[in-house]
Every structure is written in structure tokens, then in C-alpha cells.
Structure 1
Amino acid sequence: MRTFYSRLLFVFAVLYAVMLAALGVVLGQLFPIVFAQRLQVEREDLYIFYIVLFVVLGLFYLVSLWVASRVLTRYIKPFDDISTTALQLADGDYTARVFEDDLTGITTLSHSLNVLARNLQEMSQQRESEQERLKTLIETMGSGLIVLGRSGTISIMNKTFGQLFGLQFKEVRSKNYQDIGLPKDLESFAYQLLMTETPTRKQLRLNTAKGFRYTECYGAPVIGEYGKWLGMVIVIHDITELKHLEKVRQDFVANVSHELKTPVTSIKGFTETLLYGAYQKEETLLEFLEIIKLESDRLQLLIDDLLDLSKMEQQEFEMRKTAVSVQTLFERALQITRQSAEAKEIHPLIEGDDSLLVKGDENRLLQIVVNLVSNAITYSSPGTAITLRSDKYQQYGILIIQDEGIGMGPEELPRIFERFYRVDKARSRNSGGTGLGLAIVKHLVEAHNGKIEVESEVGKGTTFKVYIPLVTS
């Protein structure tokens, strides 16, 4: 695009050339008439005059054009640069600048335009930075977010929302929310928001790409300048885990109430019976007192287990970790459970490396092994085998407890570490179990920075593998 400076210089050059050409024609016509006869110049010599006249006028034209160019460059071109820079700024190029020259007399204007350009550049950079931070914030949100225009078209959607419903923003951008396959309940929620234009919060169970999820949906209008309504924003929080924890809490309260109610009811019933006269018969008295003692022991065991779990879940729960012999743990555990094993004619075997040492709290590790061995005895038939074996794997020592009991199906394995969960409820209740043993085992194993695995098959038995860090030199 030709600038004002170049156009003005072109016009000056053309006009000046025309003027000099006209002057040359006039002089070329007048000289022979006015001066040639007086000076007695031959007509043939006039050609020399014409050549000299052409050269002189040409040189004068070039010198004048150079002078005019310098003058225009000094006083006209700065205005042209200012105009060009202003157009660049208007087009969004905030890096454009004007050369500031005191000799032109427009330094103030040039400086002001440069200050404006710098301010615009800073504002643009700040806006880009804020937009980038906002984009990063939206994309890294753990909750799904979608922004709808006034007509329901999608203008913004973050990655979490896309992953939740299997969508790509580039594929759904500018489409209506009703045309992208969202769950019907979510479509109804969005429709209600667009119709009422009021903030709304609602819990929905939605069929997502991850299966059915419990969500809390919050929608609110997007208000622009001067209170103009621009659309709606919807934020979706996945509360499936919270729902699961709430159910676990409810189940825990119900189970604790039930487990406490059973021995308390027995103690109360037999005590009332004794008070109503049964104490007069010595045989009945002793029998009822024995039952009351068993129920009291059962109640105490339950309370102790609950207190253990409570301590383990507190951050201040500490253990004294030392080098512990796995062989010694197995032998002590078998001594503690010998009576119940002999009652079923079960004779557990110890195999593996008798020099294996692990790092942990000896009493807590013993509690782990005793719980697992007691479970193995409880769920095993008389005369079957139970094996306690030690092994190594990388930086872990492995404590393996294997039985030939009733086993478990694959649908039960994910739940066996839940509080109060029982595979064979009748047998475990009759044996006096609280249903908290495996939950305690898992907490203790994790407190040792270890892990526990279980393999089982119905009718063939169960194998627990406890991984505890080895003693490092």
C-alpha cells in the first residue's frame, strides 16, 4: 500500500517535471526569436544550445527533486509513519513503534503514540496471561464444566467433562447441548436452567463413560457487563466415592448396633431370668453365669477391636519397628491358636526360610498372623491342612497362610476387608468372631508400608500373602 509520503513525492516529481518541461519548451522557442539575431548565432549552433538547456534543466530537476525528498522526509514522512503505526495498532499489532525525532517538531505526538502502544501491549500480554491461567484452571479442574450460550450452544467444555461423557470439545463446539448425546437427566437439568435463569443445585445419577456415577450438578447464569445475560455454566462434581463412604458409614453403624445388641440382649435376658428365681438352682445358675461370661467376653472383644481400628485410623498411631523373625511369629501364633486347632484336629505346618527377618512392630505383626490363622481354622473342616510359609520377593518378606477351607467366590474377594463382612455368617458368629479381623489386618499391613493379597477358590481353600519390608543393613 502506497503511503501519503510516497504519493506526495510522486505528485511533486510529476508536476515539477511538467513545469520544467514547459519552461524548456518556452525557452527553446523564445531564444531563437529574441536572442539569436542579436548575437548573430547560426541556426546550426542552436542545437548546442538545446542540448545545454536540456542538461541544465535535467540537473536542476534532479537537484530540486533531491531537496524536495529531503524536506518531505524530514517533515512529512513522520506523519506518514504515525498514521501507519496507528493502523497497525488498530489491527492488533501492539509491537509497532514510531521513531521519535526532536527535529520534526512532533516529538510529543510520537512519544504519546509510543506510550499508548506500550500500554496496549502490556494490557494485551496481561489479558493473554489471564486467559491462559483461566484455561489452565478450567482444564485441570477435577469437576466437569460446560458453558452454554443463550440458545444452548456449547462455548466452553473442559477435559473432565469430556472424559466423563466420552466427548471431544472440537467435535461438539457450537453444537446444541441436546444434539451431543448427554444423559436425559442432565439435558433436563440444563433445560430447566435455560428456562428459569436461576442458580440450581441437584444430585443426579448419570450414565457416563465410566458407568453409572453419582453426581452433584450446579448451574448458574453467566452475567456480562451491564447485567446482560450471556448463557449458563454447569459444574458437575463426581460424588460416587462420597456416596460409597456414606453407605459404608451407615452399614458400619448398623452392624455395630447389631453386634452390640446381640450380647447385651443375652446378658440382660439371662440376668433377668436369674433375678426371677432361677438362681435358686445351682446347676442353672452356673450355666447362666457361664453364658453371661461368654457374652461379656464377646462384647469386650468387639469393643477392643473397635478401639484398635479407631487408633489405627488416627494419624498419631505409631509402632515400634524392629527386626522381627518370621519363624518366631509363626511359632507364637500357633501357640496362641493351638487350642482351637486341636479342637478340629488340625496340625498347622511351618515351611520356608527360618532366618527371614522383616522390619515391623512384633506385637502388631503377631496380631496379623494370629488373625489370619484363626480365620483359617474357623473356615476349615476338621482334619484339613493349614500351612504357614515364608518367602522373599524383591524388598519384601512374604508371610503366607494357606488353608483348605470353604474358600470364597470371586464376587466376595473385593469385600472381605470391609468391616463386619462375613463369608459364612453363621459359622463366624458361632465361633465368636466380630467381623473386624481382616479390616484390622489390612490397616496393620498398610501401617507397615506393606500390602496384602488373597487367592481363593470355593471348596479348595484360601491363601493370604502378606508383604512386609525386609530388614535393610
Structure 2
Amino acid sequence: MNQNWQGTLVRRLLLLLGACLLLGLVTGEYAWMLVLGLGGYLGWTFHQLRRLQHWLQRKDADQPPPDAAGVWGEVFDNLYQLQRRDLRLRGQLQAVIDRVQGSTAALKDAVIMLDSDGNLEWWNIAADRLLGLKKPQDIGHPITNLVRHPRFKDYFEGDQYDEPLELPAPVNDRLRLQITITRYGNSERLLVVRDVTRVHQLEQMRKDFVANVSHELRTPLTVIAGYLETLLDNPEQINPRLLRALQQMNQQTDRMQHLINDLLLLAKLEASNRPTDNQPIAVAPLLQSITSDARALSGSHAHRISLDADAALWLKGSEAELRSAFSNLVFNAVKYTPGGGDIHIRWWSNEAGAHLSVEDSGLGIEPKHLPRLTERFYRVDSSRASNTGGTGLGLAIVKHVLLRHQGRLDINSSPGKGSTFTCHFPTSQIAQR
């Protein structure tokens, strides 16, 4: 519509009024002529509006607009141009959507789109195979009603999606799935489900191999250690040239036994997700016992070890597993803190749950090592670990014990400023006395 349509409309109204006044001059009925003229103009305008309404309500989007002259012709033409442009944009958008859906349909991983309430909106073909979803009857249903595994429900409602979740497939227990959730848009969620059965089988084979080898090595090491102890009970009867060799053999045998014990403990921890003896534990006396052992381990190094524990704060879990995890943290602080250094152990609670921190004034750890500290056999300084007799499995044991107790481990450290290892437990793990 051009910019002079308002002037054209005004001129036509003035011409209509002039014609009505002229007829009124001839007939002497000015009022009636004005009423008839304006009424006719309104009727014509109403007729054009009805034509516009019928054209907008048509089913055929390609039907051209009705013919009209003047202002209404320009209105029809402009609306038609806007409609054609909208159709082109919708076609382009639909082509992009079809292309995205076609590419995701070809993926081996399942892709599921959920609305802000967790209801199913769209999914690809792989979701039918891995999760057993069916179209169209499952559209609009909550995902938690279709994937009923308790761990998935806790993971979905927990809103903590930093780490993926692994669980058996709903359609086949032999399949192992890895589920990742990402938030996007207006609180919508995108689920990506991957079949990790092969990776899980390889991991299980590795665990079985380590456990079996550890069991097989335990018996010969016990025999060797027994004979070495017998020989070393009477060192005066041993050739001095052989005494040092036997002592080193005994030392390395002890180290191998510690390594095998740690490997067997890890295999036991990985065998299940929850401790079997889940009982209320008085953590304060447990920490007092570990602190006494730490002072004995410190010996002549004279570390200043302090304990601040809430005696009324109890925890649900396995006392043996918690002792193993807590003692690993405390003994590591003793081993890697120079003589005369400070070690502070604290056990407290707040609105987020229960917490245990072990803070030392030791050598500290560079930031690049922190993400890998809980990996098996990972050592920041292999020579230092060898001197202190570590197996490289202590923090891996701590990590698995915390996972079995729904906890997590935070590590803060700076070179030359010491380290702080903090265990966090949710409020659900706090036990009543």
C-alpha cells in the first residue's frame, strides 16, 4: 500500500460528501442525502470486509485475493504478499526441521525431547529400540512413567546432570545404557541415551581379571612372606651378605600384600551400589581412633594433628568402609606433610548435609593433577609415592566408598599451601542416634 492512501481516502470522502450536498440542494433534503450517501459507503466497506474475511478463512493457501479497486485493492494485495512471504519462511523452517529430524533418526544413540514438565514431545527411532517408546500413544506422557527404574527417577528429579547415569535397558536387562540430560530453551530437557553394553562388558572383564589375579597372587605371597619372616626371626644365623636381600624381599612382599588387599577391597566395593551393613555409625569415636593411629604413624615427625568432631552427628553406612575411606585421607595427610606440619580434621553438618574435611599444610598439588587424583594407580610424584609406600589406590577407594554412601569428594589444593580433602554426604545419610 503506497503512502498516499490516506489522501486518496480523504478525497473520496470529500467527493461523496460533495455529491450528497449537491443532491440535497436539488431535492431540498440535505440530511437524508447525507444519510443515504454515508450509509451506502458503510455498506460497501462492510461488503469488502466480508470478502476479506472469506478469503482469510479459505482452505486453499494459494488462492489469490479477491479483486477490488482503490484502498481495498491495495489492502488485499499487501496481505497476499505478506502471506506468500510467510509461506516461504514456513517452508524453509519445515525443511530445516525435517533435515534435523532425518539426521537424528539415523543416529544409533537415542535422542528424546521433553517439555518443561518432563513429558515426551519427540524422539528418534533408536529410542524405540533402547527404551521401548511407542508412537503416537506415548506422546505427552511423563518419561518417568515409561522408564520406571528407581535410579533414573532420582537422577531425573535431582536436577544434577553433571555426570551421566548408567542403568540396564527397560526392554532388555542385558543391555547397559548411559543417559545424559541437558537443559535447553524454556526449561525443556534433551535426553541422549547411548548403548554402552560393550564398554560395560570390557570394564567388567577388567574387574574380574584384577580380582582373580589378586586372589591367585595372595596365596603364593602369603607363603613367601611366611618363609621370609621365619628366616628373619634369627638374623644372627643368616649370612650378612644375604640379610639385606632378605630384608628388602620382605619389605617388597609387604608392599605387594597391601596392593593386593587394596585391589580386593576395590573389587568388593564395585560389586554393589550400596553397603550391605547399612547401620547408624558414631563418626566422632571413629575419627578419634583414626586420629590416634595417625599420631602413631607420625612418630618422630611430630605433626600437629587436631580433631573437631560433632559427637551428636551420626551417619548411616558401613563402619568398615567409612573407616577405610577416612583413614586413607588422614594417613595421606600425614605421609605427604613435612615434619612439624599441621593437620586439621573436622566433622560437621549444615543444611546441605554432613561433611568431613582433612586439611594439611603439606606440599600441595598442582591444579592439572586434581581431576585425576581418584584414578587407580595415578600418582602426582611417583618417586615420592614410592618413598611413602603408597599403592596408588587410596583415593580410588575413598571415591568408591563415598559413591556407595551417596557422597562425593572435593579436593582443593595449591602448591606450597597444602591441601584440603572434603567428603560431602546428603542429609538423607544422616542417622539419628
Select the structure with the greater relative contact order (CA < 8 A; seq sep ≥ 6): 2
Q: TM-score if structure 2 supplies the norm length?
A: 0.46
Larger Rg: 1
Q: TM-score if structure 1 supplies the norm length?
A: 0.43
